[in-house]
Every structure is written in structure tokens, then in C-alpha cells.
Homo-oligomer: A and B are copies of this chain.
Amino acid sequence: MALDEFESIHHWTAGRQEDEWQRRRGIVAGIGDDAAVVDLAAAADGVAEPKRLLLAVDTMVETVHFKQSTMRDEDVGYKALAANISDIAAMGGVPLHALVSVSVPPAYTPERMRRLYDGLYECAERYGVAIAGGDTTSSPEHLVVAVTVTGTVEAGRELRRSGAKPGDAVFVTGAVGMSAAGLHALLAEEARGAVMASADAGHQELAAVVKAHQRPNPSVRAGRLLLERGSCHSLNDVSDGLASEAWEIAEASGLRLMLHEKRLPRSGSMSTYASSAGVDPLEWMLYGGEDYVLLGTMASEDAEAMQLAFQQEGIPFFIIGETEAGEPDVQLIRYNQASKGSGLLSSNEKRINLKKRGYNHFL
């Protein structure tokens, strides 16, 4: 590679996280040897013994997941880690460490890479994740960032996709479609030849959806709350879109999920932006992805108590449907517009089978 690997990594990582801060995450030896050395028992992660280790990897590829018109370099770094932390959140775990593989094309100057690491460390600090190691290679043309995260979880209490039971309530821990709306806004700006729409500038609604796309927040606290209360049956994070994630629970648990269109949480800023753009936001909400809220199921009799627990922590919690026995399937229940207020909902509802497909960024 053009840069000296060791000097580069040193420039991007040195002094970012203090030794003592890393030690509290169990790091005995971090960046600078063949492998990081971790003492999990020494991690002050709040997870009760015996605990288990969680491992996940996620990759962001330039032109596939982002391009310069949609994400600043610091956003790429932030989001690459955030997407991974979300996988730990979706198990009910506490994220602890990350290893960062970057393949750097010539267009990414050391200064740009420094900004990418600025974003990465910003996310790491917010979620208490120690950067424990990495690998830097050159790349012929496109940036590739692959992040591996570890986490911990109480043994036997990890929240899987496969635990849903017939008659469960289906819930989601935040609005969906925000990120897709943000991407739509960014691509529209690009098509108009404008400078990148920024989360800091422009209309408030635009700023909110753009921020949701560029700086998503994984739902670690929500995942812990679900695990701690003990009543959650199945859990997934909305990385590939609500329909796709619901399908994963349906297939892993062997049942049907029914989602009610009118109960899907939509944010005001997304709705406002959708109106101004003349777009029906349902597509974003079902297939948009990258919202990193949690989707799961629990016995319906426990749902109200959970809603209260979330309310007390200031985290959204919406019951959006229910499960029933049957072949794996995901259905959306819509109501005829004409029947509004007639009170005869059941005769006017229409079930639509949702497709498994996930998120295609630029197709």
C-alpha cells in the first residue's frame, strides 16, 4: 500500500482511547501485536456471570452501501460500527470490542481516513466499545470497511430470532423508514446537483431523516431492557427492512407474523418529507432498512408492562401486530380507505403478503 501500514494505523488510532478505559472493557493488550488479548471476566459490562461471548461482522462497501454524495467520511466510520453494535443489541447483549478491517483506495487520503476514524471513534465512545485491533490494506478502487464486534450476554438469556410463539404480540422499538427517507433526500439533492444535504442544515424534517441515514443509533438500551425483563420471546434488528426482518423471525420460529399498516410507527419528519417529495412512505417503512430499531415478539399479556418500562426510560415501544400458528409468512393488514370510521373493520381489511426482499441501496 501507498501508506506505511503501521504509521497509518498509529496516526488513526493512537491516543483515542485511554488504557484504563480499554481495561474496563477487558482489554489486556490492544492494537500493536498479532492479536488483541481480552480478559472477559475483567470487563465491567454489567452482565451477570456466567456470561457468553457474542460475535458479529458487518461490511460496508463504497458504491454498494454508500457513496460520497450520501455519506461523509466520518459518517462512514460511524455507521460501519453502529451497524455492528446493532447486531449485539439484537441479542440483548452489551457491545465491548471492535476490530476494523479497512481496504483503502488511492482516493482516500490519510486525512480522509483520519476523518473516517473520527466517526468510528465517536460511535465507539458513545457505545463504550474498545477498538481492539484492525487490518489496513490497499484497495484498487473502492473503500471496504468490515467491522467485527464482540459483546457479552447472560448465559442462556440471549434473545434469538427463533423464540416467537403463536399468539405473541409483535413490537418495534422506534419509527421505521427514516433512513430510507434520508437516502431518498440525499439522492434527490445529488440529482439536483446540490451540495450534500447535511444533517446540520436545511429544513428541520430533511435534517432529521438525513441524520437518521448518516448517523443511526443502535438500540443497545432497548435490547438490555427486553432481556432484563425476561418476557421477550424473539428479537431482531431492522437492518435490512421491516419485512425482511419479520420474515427472519417467521422462518426461524416457524410461524406467521401479521403487521397492521396503521400501527406502524412513522415519524413526523419522515411523513412531512414524503409529502413534500410526493412519495408514499410505506415502501420505505417496509423495505427501507438501516433504522436499527428492534423488532421482536412477546406474550401479548406482557406487552403492556413492557410498554410502561420503555416509557419510563424514554424509549419508544409500539405494538404493531401479532403472530399466529402456520407456515412461515409475513402479512400486512391494510384497511380500505372507504371504511374509515364505519366501525366494520374486519370486513374491510385486506391482507397483503410481504416479500422477503431487503434493502437495495442504489438499485
A interface with B by C-beta (< 8 Å): 1, 4-5, 26, 28-29, 32-41, 50, 52-65, 86-88, 90-91, 93, 97, 99-101, 103, 132-135, 137-142, 144, 146, 148-151, 153, 155, 158, 160-162, 236-237, 252, 356, 358
| Contact indicator A36/B54 (Cβ below 8 Å) | yes
| Contact indicator B53/A40 (Cβ below 8 Å) | yes
Given contacts A55-B99, A141-B141, contact A158 B29 (CB under 8 A): yes
| Contact indicator B132/A55 (Cβ below 8 Å) | yes
Given contacts A32-B252, A35-B93, A87-B34, contact A57 B135 (CB under 8 A): yes
| Contact indicator B103/A59 (Cβ below 8 Å) | yes
| Contact indicator A55/B252 (Cβ below 8 Å) | no
| Contact indicator B101/A101 (Cβ below 8 Å) | yes
| Contact indicator B133/A55 (Cβ below 8 Å) | yes
Kindly identify which residue among B62, B87, B103, B162 contacts A35, using a CB–CB cutoff of 8 Å.
B87
Given contacts A59-B135, A63-B140, A141-B141, contact A53 B38 (CB under 8 A): yes
Residues of B within 8 A of A160 (CB): 29, 33
- Cβ of A295 to closest chain B Cβ, rounded Å: 11
Number of copies of this chain in the oligomer? Answer: 2
| Contact indicator A50/B41 (Cβ below 8 Å) | yes
Residues of B within 8 A of A153 (CB): 37
Kindly identify which residue among B33, B64, B141 contacts A161, using a CB–CB cutoff of 8 Å.
B33
Given contacts A65-B137, A137-B61, A140-B142, contact A158 B56 (CB under 8 A): no
| Contact indicator B88/A35 (Cβ below 8 Å) | yes
In Å, the complex CA distance between A88 and B33 comes to: 10
Closest B residue, CB atoms, query A91: B35
Kindly identify which residue among B34, B142, B237 contacts A34, using a CB–CB cutoff of 8 Å.
B237
Residues of B within 8 A of A99 (CB): 55-57, 148
Closest B residue, CB atoms, query A223: B34
In Å, the complex CA distance between A156 and B151 comes to: 22
Closest B residue, CB atoms, query A160: B33
| Contact indicator A139/B61 (Cβ below 8 Å) | yes
In Å, the complex CA distance between A358 and B8 comes to: 14
Q: A34-B91, A58-B101, A63-B140 are in contact. List 13 more A-B contacts (CB 8 A).
A: A28-B158, A35-B88, A35-B91, A35-B151, A38-B53, A40-B40, A57-B148, A58-B135, A59-B137, A61-B137, A61-B139, A101-B146, A139-B142
Kindly identify which residue among B33, B146, B236 contacts A59, using a CB–CB cutoff of 8 Å.
B146
Residues of B within 8 A of A161 (CB): 32-34
26 contacts between A and B (CB under 8 A): A1-B64, A5-B358, A26-B53, A32-B252, A33-B252, A34-B56, A34-B86, A34-B87, A34-B237, A35-B93, A36-B56, A39-B50, A40-B52, A55-B133, A55-B148, A56-B133, A57-B99, A57-B133, A57-B135, A59-B103, A61-B137, A61-B139, A65-B137, A103-B144, A103-B146, A140-B141
Residues of B within 8 A of A150 (CB): 53, 55
| Contact indicator A91/B33 (Cβ below 8 Å) | yes
Residues of B within 8 A of A40 (CB): 40, 52-53
In Å, the complex CA distance between A284 and B204 comes to: 60
In Å, the complex CA distance between A146 and B137 comes to: 10
Closest 5 CB pairs of A and B: A35-B56, A146-B146, A148-B148, A34-B90, A101-B146
Residues of B within 8 A of A41 (CB): 50
Residues of B within 8 A of A32 (CB): 161, 252
